[in-house]
């Protein structure tokens, strides 16, 4: 009987062990990711530069004579528009004026003498002609003829002398006029008064003007007139950027429109009107544009930079002369290449790679890529992916080659964020 019990027990044991299998579903080995299509496009990338903006036409006006400033045009202040030929200021005009008047009157008298001499000459000539005729008729003496000749010659010489004096008088007047103009500041261009370093009654001497540097010149020159309709910016670019800029490229200058950044900042932080820098703002938002006007082929050995000259193309650019601006110069567009969002790229040991979606197998495949230029939050790929393939963007940090993936489209119901470079 005991054996029966034992046998029953052992059978039941075996039966029980069979049912002990617990089926456990394998742990989810699928990573959720977002994917984006590889586009084909030309990527516009930009080179950063910075420099000081100066008006293209700027005139430094100075007196070359010494003197006291006695006249400044009324209402003349920095920022006022000036017309071409407008008098801005002048030094002690009376003496010079007197001198000029004297010269002019001398000229007048010289001209009068000139006319007199011309008349005398005419008379002498006529007389000579008459005597020549008389001589032919044997009506006059040779002596009278010689006298008439001599008087003609005399009159000629006198005329010449009078001419010369008139010329000298004219020259004198011209000289006085120049001296006169040297005591006047007259705007040669239509523009705006940039600097006015004069005061009525102050003594001015040409030696006070220092032209050794821009700054000193600006501080000492009596007046600066600029034409604010066109500015020029000289940017020093590092030698490595030489092949990236060509004459005629478009340039984005300074900031886009000032924008209020609505951030999720809580409690006590002021909101700032920030000046965004860079073409991460949509290119269309840049109001100030220019073109690369000239590129220097020579490298400054001290700074290892070369100069690029940019001229603004926007009419009436809102710049100040001497303003320090940031620039974004467009690189020449390459051909169409496959383009991926910047957020799709990962690097390992300085080698970039992306994860391409293998839709059939439902996995992500790691693919090394060769990078081209980047801009607008996008990266051009020279080798490694083709247009139309899909690459993983969000969630790429969790992937390894062959990892099973699931593509999701999360709803972002909350406020639209400022996207920045990673779109």
Partner 1 sequence: MSDRSPEDGSVHEAEQQHEQESEEVRAASRLKRFFFLKTTFGLLMTAILLIGGLLSYGLLVKEALPDLDIPAATITTAWPGADARSIEEQVTEPIEEELTSLSGVKALNSASYDSFSVISVEFDATVNTDAAMNELRAAVSTAESELPEAAEQPSVTQISVDDRPILTLALHGSKNGRVLSQVGRDIQDRLERITGVDEVTLGGEREDIVQILLQPDRLLALGISPSAIRTAVQQANIQQPFGQIESNAIGATVRLEGRFDNLDDLRALPILRPTQDGVNRPAVRLDEVASVRRMPERETQRAFFTSGGAAFAQSLELSITKTPGADTVDVVDEIVASMDEMERSGVWPQGIHYSVVQNGAQEIWNSLGDVFSSGMQSMLIVFVILFVTIAWREALLAGLSIPITFAGVLLFLMLTGQTLNELVIIGMVIALVLIIDVFIILLEGLHDEIYVQKATFGQAVLRTVKRYAVPTFAAQLTTILALVPLMAIGGTAGAFIRILPVTTVLCLVVGFVLAMFGTLPLSRYLLGKQANSGAELKEGRSDRVTARAMDWLENWNSRHVLATRKRAGLWVIGAFVMFGLSIAAFTMTKIELYPMVDAEQLGINIELPPTTPLAETQQIAERAGEILRNKTYLANSVMLVGRKSPFAAGSVAGQLQPDEAENFIGFSSIFTDQSERDGLSFEVAEELRGELRAYLDSQVPGAVLQVVPQQRSPTPGDPVVIEVSGPEIDTLLDLSAQVRTALRRGGSVVDVRDNVGALNPEIGLRPNREAANFFGITETDLAGQLRAAFSSDEIGTFATGAAEDDLEIRLGTEWPSRPGVAGPPRDLSELAMIRAYTQQGRSVSLAQLVTEKRGEGPIAISRASGERAVSVLARNQGRTVTEIIDDITPTLDQMKAQWPAGYSYTVRGEAEETGDTFGSAGIALAVAIMLVVGVLVIMFDSYRQALIIVATMPLAIIGAFLGFFLFGLSFSFFAMIGVVSLIGIVVNTGIIMVDTMNDFLRGGATVAEAAAAGAARRLRPVLTTAATTIIGLIPLAIGSNSYRPLTLVIIFGLITATILSLFVVPALYLLLTKQAQAGEAALD
Chain positions 119 to 178 lying near partner 1, rule: CB under 8 A, are none
**Contact residues for 143 (Cβ-Cβ < 8 A; gap 6+):** none
Give the nearer residue to partner 1 in terms of CB position, either 143 or 269.
Answer: 269
Considering only residues 366 to 405 of the shown chain, the ones binding partner 1 according to CB under 8 A are: 374, 394-398, 400
Considering only residues 234 to 293 of the shown chain, the ones binding partner 1 according to CB under 8 A are: 238-241, 261, 263-272, 274-280
Q: Quick check: 9 binds partner 1 (CB under 8 A)? A: yes
Q: Quick check: 359 binds partner 1 (CB under 8 A)? A: no
Q: How far is the CB of 401 from partner 1 (least distance, A)?
A: 9
Give φ, ψ of 82 to 5 degrees: -125, 150
Give the nearer residue to partner 1 in terms of CB position, either 25 or 136.
Answer: 25
Q: Quick check: 352 binds partner 1 (CB under 8 A)? A: yes
Residue from the set 2, 138, 243, 316 that interacts with partner 1 by CB under 8 A: 2
Q: How far is the CB of 56 from partner 1 (least distance, A)?
A: 21
Q: How far is the CB of 280 from partner 1 (least distance, A)?
A: 5
Give the nearer residue to partner 1 in terms of CB position, either 40 or 216.
Answer: 216
Instruction: Give the strand pairing for 223-226 and 58-61.
Output: antiparallel
Q: What is the largest CA-CA distance in the chain?
A: 197
Q: Quick check: 417 binds partner 1 (CB under 8 A)? A: yes
Give the nearer residue to partner 1 in terms of CB position, either 45 or 176.
Answer: 45
What would the x/- binding string for partner 1 be over residues 76 to 95, using CB under 8 A? Answer: --------------------
Give the nearer residue to partner 1 in terms of CB position, either 9 or 294.
Answer: 9
User: Alpha carbon 83 to chain centroid distance?
Assistant: 24
Residue from the set 95, 336, 386, 406 that interacts with partner 1 by CB under 8 A: 406
Residue from the set 83, 160, 304, 383 that interacts with partner 1 by CB under 8 A: 304
Q: Quick check: 423 binds partner 1 (CB under 8 A)? A: no
Q: Which two tokens stand for residue 100?
A: 């000029």
Q: Which two tokens stand for residue 31?
A: 């990573």
Compute the radius of gyration of the chain from its Cα atoms: 44
- Say if residues 291 and 249 touch (Cβ distance below 8 Å): yes
Give the nearer residue to partner 1 in terms of CB position, either 76 or 252.
Answer: 252
Q: What is the DSSP letter of 169?
A: H
Q: How far is the CB of 73 from partner 1 (least distance, A)?
A: 31
Query: In this structure, what is the dihedral angle of CA atoms 166, 168, 169, 170, given to the nearest 10 degrees?
Result: 90
Give the nearer residue to partner 1 in terms of CB position, either 188 or 278.
Answer: 278
Burial class (CB in 10 A: 0-12, 13-18, 19+), 228: buried
Residue owning tokens 């100066």? 54
**Contact residues for 236 (Cβ-Cβ < 8 A; gap 6+):** 49, 51, 300, 303, 305, 306, 307
Nearest Cα to 336, choosing from 386, 264, 298?
Answer: 386
Q: How far is the CB of 114 from partner 1 (least distance, A)?
A: 57
Q: How many CB atoms lie within 10 A of CB 412?
A: 8
Residue from the set 346, 365, 366, 367 that interacts with partner 1 by CB under 8 A: 346
Q: How far is the CB of 340 from partner 1 (least distance, A)?
A: 15
Considering only residues 192 to 221 of the shown chain, the ones binding partner 1 according to CB under 8 A are: 213, 215-216
- Say if residues 249 and 331 touch (Cβ distance below 8 Å): yes
Q: Which two tokens stand for residue 205?
A: 């001497």
User: Alpha carbon 117 to chain centroid distance?
Assistant: 63
Indicate the helix (H) or strand (E) that contains 125: helix 93-137
Give the nearer residue to partner 1 in terms of CB position, either 154 or 263.
Answer: 263
Contacting range for partner 1; rule: CB under 8 A; set: 162-170, 346-354, 361-369, 383-391? 346-354
Residue from the set 303, 362, 382, 386 that interacts with partner 1 by CB under 8 A: 303
Considering only residues 45 to 74 of the shown chain, the ones binding partner 1 according to CB under 8 A are: 46, 48, 50
CA distances from 34 to 41, 394, 411 (A): 21, 5, 12
Q: Quick check: 348 binds partner 1 (CB under 8 A)? A: yes
Alpha carbons within 13 angstroms on the beta-carbon side of residue 217 total 12
Q: How far is the CB of 328 from partner 1 (least distance, A)?
A: 8
Nearest Cα to 179, choosing from 243, 92, 261?
Answer: 92
């Amino acid at each position: 009987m005991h054996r029966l019990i034992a046998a029953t027990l052992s059978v039941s044991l075996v039966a029980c062990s069979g049912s002990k299998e617990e089926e456990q579903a394998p742990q989810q080995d699928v990573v959720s990711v977002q994917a984006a299509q590889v586009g084909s496009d030309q990527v516009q990338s930009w080179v950063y530069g910075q420099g000081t903006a100066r008006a293209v036409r700027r005139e430094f006006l100075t007196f070359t004579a010494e003197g006291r400033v006695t006249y400044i045009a009324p209402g003349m202040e920095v920022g006022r528009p000036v017309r071409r030929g407008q008098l801005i200021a002048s030094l002690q005009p009376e003496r010079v004026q007197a001198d000029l008047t004297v010269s002019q009157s001398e000229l007048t008298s010289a001209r009068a003498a000139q006319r007199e001499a011309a008349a005398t000459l005419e008379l002498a000539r006529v007389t000579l002609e008459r005597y020549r005729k008389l001589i032919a008729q044997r009506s006059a003496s040779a002596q009278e003829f010689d006298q008439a000749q001599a008087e003609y010659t005399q009159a000629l010489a006198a005329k010449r002398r009078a001419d010369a004096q008139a010329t000298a008088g004219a020259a004198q007047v011209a000289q006085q006029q120049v001296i006169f103009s040297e005591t006047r500041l007259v705007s040669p261009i239509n523009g705006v008064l940039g600097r006015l370093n004069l005061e009525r009654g102050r003594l001015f001497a040409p030696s006070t003007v220092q032209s050794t540097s821009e700054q000193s010149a600006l501080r000492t020159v009596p007046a600066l007139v600029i034409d604010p309709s066109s500015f020029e910016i000289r940017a020093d670019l590092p030698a490595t950027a030489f092949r990236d800029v060509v004459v005629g490229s478009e340039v984005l200058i300074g900031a886009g429109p000032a924008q209020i950044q609505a951030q999720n900042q809580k409690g006590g932080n002021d909101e700032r009107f920030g000046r965004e820098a860079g073409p991460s703002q949509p290119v269309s938002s840049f109001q100030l544009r220019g073109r690369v006007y000239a590129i220097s082929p020579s490298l400054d050995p001290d700074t290892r930079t070369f100069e690029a000259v940019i001229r603004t193309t926007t009419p009436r650019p809102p710049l100040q002369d001497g303003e320090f601006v940031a620039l974004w110069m467009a690189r020449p567009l390459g051909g169409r290449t496959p383009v991926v969002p910047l957020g799709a790229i990962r690097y390992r040991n300085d080698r970039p790679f992306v994860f391409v979606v293998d839709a059939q197998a439902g996995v992500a495949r790691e693919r090394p890529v060769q990078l081209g230029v980047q801009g607008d939050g996008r990266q051009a790929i020279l080798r490694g992916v083709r247009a139309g393939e899909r690459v993983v963007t969000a969630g790429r940090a969790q992937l390894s080659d062959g990892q099973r993936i699931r593509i999701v489209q999360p709803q972002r119901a909350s406020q639209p964020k400022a996207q920045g470079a990673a779109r």
